[in-house]
Chain A
C-alpha cells in the first residue's frame, strides 16, 4: 500500500468505528496527547478559539464517550460518514498533514436519514510503530447552525 492508500484506509476506519457504533474504540485512533476539536467555519475563519467540542488529550475524549454511554440523554441515532479523497497538504518529519471533506447523515430511530453536517477535517497524522494515529484533528463544519445536539463524535 502506498501512503495515500494507507491514509485513506485509516480515515475510513475512523468513520466505520463511529458509524458502526463502536464508540469506546474511537479514542484509539488518537495518540494520548492528541487534540480533537469540532468547530464551525465561522469560528475557524474568525480565529475564535471556542467551537463545539475541544478535547485536549485522549482522557477528555474518553470522558466524552463516558458521557455518551452513561450520562447523556438523547434519542438513539446513528451517523453515516461519507469522505472525499484525502489530500496531503504537507509533510514535516514524521508528521503528515491531511485535509478531507465529509458529509454526515444522521438517522434517528424510526425516522428517515437526513444530512446532519458537512465540512472538512484538517488532520495532523503521525506514524507510531508503523501505525497511523491522529495527533491533531479539527472538524470544521460548514454551517454554524446545529440541529438539536451533537453527542456522537464527528
Chain B
C-alpha cells in the first residue's frame, strides 16, 4: 500500500510534480497582504484544504463518520481563522476545532496548528505530535526543518508551504502528490 502510493506519487512527480516546483518560486506577487487577519484567512483555508490531501493512518479514526479534530496551540489569529471551518466536513469527517493550552496533552487531535509559541516548547509539542501521529502545521519560520510536517512560508507575497516528507512518513502520513507538487520538500536540519 505504501509502496504503491509512493509509486503513484513518483509517477505524478515525473509527469507534473517536478515541473510544479518552479511556479512556487517564480509565481508573481499576489494582492494578499502579509500582515493582519487577511493573511490568516488564507492560511486557515490552506490548512483546511491541506487536510483533503493528507491520508491519516488507518487507526487515526474510529469510523468513517468520526470527527476530524483540528487543534490549535499558541497565541495569535491563526487559531481564530480556523474557527470558521468548524462543522464542515473533510473527506466525510465532520470538522472539530479545539484550542489547546500550552503543555496540554494533544489527546485525540488529528491536526495541530502551531502558532505564536515560544521556541522552547516546540520540541516537546513536535515530539508528542510525532508519537500520536498528529499532522503538524505552522507558520513558524523553518518549522518543517525543525521537525514539523508542514510549514507555511511567505514567498513573493504568496503563502507557500514546505513539507518535511520524512517527518510525515515517520508519523505514518501519506501526503498526496497533488500537494507535494505544489510544496517545497525540506528535511530536518536543512538550511
Partners in one complex: no
Q: Name A's B-contacting residues (CB within 8 A).
A: none
Q: Name B's A-contacting residues (CB within 8 A).
A: none
